[in-house]
Amino acid sequence: MSGRKTIMRCIQKGLTAFFIGLLSILLVTPSSQAIDIRVYDYHKAIQRMLNKDQKVVLGVIVDKVFTTSTGDWVESWRASIQHTQMVDLQNSILKYSGFNDYPKFSLVDRAGIEGVLKELNFQQTGYLSPKDQQKIGDILGITHIVFETYSRFPASAPYSYTDQADFRLVEIKTSRVLATDTVVANMKEDGSWTPWGFKTAPGQ
């Protein structure tokens, strides 16, 4: 009897370790540092405005997180991505852009944006109308927003995925989309990721 209990405990430990490992794979994302932000078209569009001495008060918003997968992990994954991608996007702009050298550039604090999004019930609707964008601009003084849509698609191999991040730079005053970019990364069966790469070369 004691031998059977020992075997059962070992099986339970093994299953627990397996599911913890699986969950960690599902929640992880490829590193946002794998590609230099300065080659993005939206970066170049901001650079052109600053070179013309235009004021750019920038906000970043992860407006949609999408996956075709199903399971109990999806909501936790979506909430995790919503937060980490917003943090990563802000950090990438601060670290790689060089925009802080321009006196007419500023990046709005993430907490301020999240507060306004909460007022607009963004978490419930997942949608920002041009009117909502104008309200964000009026409250926080934002002139432009970089929106990111993050998607995860299952690949053919078990426990492997393709993640895609779509960016668009929007001018608040006119609601015009000034630039777009799309990057992809693939998670392999062993849980490692390929570096982010452009789906279409910038400028095409």
Q: How confident is residue 3, by pLDDT bands cut at 50, 70 and 90?
A: low
Type of residue found at 100: N
Domains of the chain plus CATH, in order, are 2-198 (3.40.50.10610)
CB 95 within 8 A of CB 69: no
In a 3-state reduction of DSSP, which class is residue 11? helix
pLDDT at 160 over 50: yes
Question: In whole angstroms, what is the distance from residue 124 CA to residue 198 CA?
Answer: 31
CA atoms within 13 A on the CB side of 137: 19
Summarised one tens digit per residue, pLDDT across range 47-84 is 999 999 999 999 999 888 888 878 888 888 888 888 88
Summarised one tens digit per residue, pLDDT across range 101-117 is 999 999 999 888 888 88
CB 67 within 8 A of CB 124: no
Torsion angles phi and psi, residue 49, rounded to 5? -65, -45
Average pLDDT over residues 159-187: 90
CA atoms within 13 A on the CB side of 27: 15
CB 133 within 8 A of CB 127: no
Structure tokens at 96: 């790689």
Angle at 64 between CA 45 and CA 140, to 5 degrees: 60
CB 46 within 8 A of CB 144: yes
CB 180 within 8 A of CB 164: no
